[in-house]
Amino acid sequence: MLAWALHRISGLAIVIFISLHVLASFAQHQLGSDLGTTINIIYESIYFQIFIVFVVLFHALNGLRIILQDTWPRLQEYHRELIWLQWLIFIPIYGLTVFLMIQAARSLSGG
């Protein structure tokens, strides 16, 4: 149930992110508005970037699991194991990505 809910929430978060990104670009380049600059400052925040990486990576891996189960219906018997496998793949990839992002942010800030 958690994977189902997170998949829907992450999909909605991706749609909102892309919509705001398009709006920010339009506001900044076409209207010359400070709204676009403000939204871009939020995007550049390390916390926001870590959140977006979580959302996109989880949504992608969960989507692949769903595709596999839809393509090969016999895998439905191993639904729980596939969710565990998804998390076993997700956690190291996400952890390494966040570690590298934090290291890059520290080197940019001079710390």
User: For residue 111, what is the DSSP state?
Assistant: -
How is residue 82 written in tokens?
Answer: 């596939």
Phi-psi region of 31 (alpha: psi -120 to 50; beta: other; left: phi over 0): alpha
Question: In this predicted structure, what is the pLDDT of residue 111?
Answer: 61
Tell me, what CATH number does 95's domain have?
Answer: 1.20.1300
Look at the chain and report how many structural domains it folds into: 1
Task: Return per-residue pLDDT of the chain as tens, 111 residues.
Answer: 888 999 999 999 999 999 988 988 888 878 877 888 888 888 889 999 999 999 999 999 999 999 999 999 999 999 999 999 999 999 999 999 999 999 999 998 876
How is residue 54 written in tokens?
Answer: 């979580």
